Structure 1
Amino acid sequence: MLLVEDEESIADVLAIALRYHRFQVMTAGTVREALALTERVRPDAALLDVMLPDGDGRALGKELRARMPGLAVVFVTARDAPGEIVGALGFGDDYITKPFHIDEVVARVTAVLRRTRSADVLPHPPPLRYGDLELDETTYCAHRAGRMVELTPTEYALLRFLVRNGGRIVTKEQLLRHVWAYEHAPAESTVVETYISYLRRKLAPLGPPLITTRRGVGYGLA
């Protein structure tokens, strides 16, 4: 996969997440670098920022698609006007606006590849495990002690973040930022407490208490 993003911090986070899900990622920060890379390597997909220092990511996507007709192209940008989206989708496969969830980007790139490539080129991430809990990153299903746990997408995202942090305590602010994408949530927000309660009720019949509360700090797994 080719990742073209000029903001280094965003590029690093995206590359780490994609590699975790077993994508092979090569990165570029400019149109010139991207074109030079694709002269040596032919990627299956391109994740392109629209606003680049030396050109327009949409024009880059059009050029790459002309060179490699089977290339899957996904745009990432802060521009969300309907005209912008429609124009980009004229020669791209998907369009993701900032701010975004990292997991959403991975899921949508995978979905695009599923439409444009045979299943044997798709990455198969390993399941996430913590004790008797297992999360399947391909099907987005959860099992505890071998039994399926029916979760909503938000419940799954919350539990996955707790599992990825192992036995560490994560704060309410971290959960709001990573699960709900809230940068500045209202102080009185109770959405985290509500969803923690939902998870506890669903996990409780299958084993001993799993989610712990560190009062005044946050939540973790026992």
Structure 2
Amino acid sequence: MGIRANRVLVVDDERNLVNLLRGYLEREGFEMSEAADGPTAIEEARRFSPEVVVLDWMLPGRDGVEVLRELRRFTDAYVLMLTARSEETDRIVGLSAGADDYVTKPFSPDELVARIRAMLRRPRAGDVEQDPPSEQFGGLVVDGDGRTVKVEGEEAELTAIEFDLLRVLSSRPGFVFSRSRLLERVWGEDYYGSDHVVDVHVANLRRKIEPTPSAPVYVQTVRGVGYRFAREYG
């Protein structure tokens, strides 16, 4: 029995672009499905169960951010947003809604395939060689086996990237991780996008695990360097 190809769902209403990406992805050994509007994208994601979703921002029916928020209700597939918008605030909106990365149009199909491969090579569960099954940090419980997090007994719904980011940080309390090191450990050595994605995902993580996100107890900022997980809580 052969190894199953990684599945990629491309969601875009530009037929020429979809056909171009299909040629590149299938040539590289991926199995690809497609959708041209928001509602179809959600249906196809449920049916196809992709590892990666390439999702255009501007779609008929429902825009990409709406689709992304719905996808995050039932899948932890990596999501790479396609956007013709260059404004930083638009990219932040996509990342804050749960996207893992973004590419601005126009782009090289080779670059897109490279980004997808980098996503699929990302070390899982924080790249910790032997994750303990469960660790408690004050009111925060991180279950490495089940990839779940509870805050004061209530489960927090983290994306795959948010969980991996938390596992890296909490694996060495008190150690200061630079943004570049977090990119390498969580996004993978081949990632070559902006390190601003780290800040956005840290902000998302804080909203889900911190009692007061503006005054974080667990994930602390070290100005000019990066982030560390606290040694003491409360």
TM-score, reference length from structure 2: 0.48
Deviation at 1:39, TM superposition (A): 2.7
Equivalent positions of 1:1-222 (< 5 A) are: 1-68=8-75, 70-90=76-96, 91-115=98-122
Distance 1:117 1:22, change over 3 A: farther
> Is this contact kept in 2: 1:6–1:30, CA < 8 A?
yes
> Is this contact kept in 2: 1:72–1:116, CA < 8 A?
no
TM-score, reference length from structure 1: 0.50
Deviations 1:181-216 (CA, angstroms, capped at 9, x unpaired):
xxxxxxxxxxxxxxxxxxxxxxxxxxxxxxxxxxxx
Deviations 1:63-94 (CA, angstroms, capped at 9, x unpaired):
112211x2100001101100001111121111
Deviation at 1:110, TM superposition (A): 1.2
- How far apart, CA to CA, are the structure 2 residues paired with 1:87 and 1:114? 25
**Local SS of the residue matching 2:34:** strand
- The amino acid across from 1:100 in the alignment is F
The aligned length equals 118
- How far apart, CA to CA, are the structure 2 residues paired with 1:92 and 1:113? 15
> Is this contact kept in 2: 1:6–1:52, CA < 8 A?
yes
Deviations 1:132-179 (CA, angstroms, capped at 9, x unpaired):
xxxxxxxx9xxxxxxxxxxxxxxxxxxxxxxxxxxxxxxxxxxxxxxx
Deviation at 1:38, TM superposition (A): 2.2
> Is this contact kept in 2: 1:74–1:96, CA < 8 A?
yes
Deviation at 1:117, TM superposition (A): 5.9
Distance 1:58 1:116, change over 3 A: farther
- How far apart, CA to CA, are the structure 2 residues paired with 1:110 and 1:61? 20
- Show structure 1 runs of 4+ deviating over 3 A: none
- How far apart, CA to CA, are the structure 1 residues paired with 2:35 and 2:116? 18
- Which one has a bigger Cα radius of gyration? 1
- How far apart, CA to CA, are the structure 2 residues paired with 1:35 and 1:5? 13
- How far apart, CA to CA, are the structure 2 residues paired with 1:34 and 1:76? 14
Structure 2: gaps spanning 5 or more residues: 1-7, 126-189, 191-234
- How far apart, CA to CA, are the structure 2 residues paired with 1:116 and 1:57? 27
- How far apart, CA to CA, are the structure 1 residues paired with 2:14 and 2:50? 21
Deviations 1:7-42 (CA, angstroms, capped at 9, x unpaired):
100111011111111110001101111112123221
Distance 1:54 1:116, change over 3 A: farther
RMSD: 1.8
Distance 1:29 1:116, change over 3 A: farther
> Is this contact kept in 2: 1:30–1:54, CA < 8 A?
yes
Deviation at 1:116, TM superposition (A): 6.4
- The amino acid across from 1:71 in the alignment is A
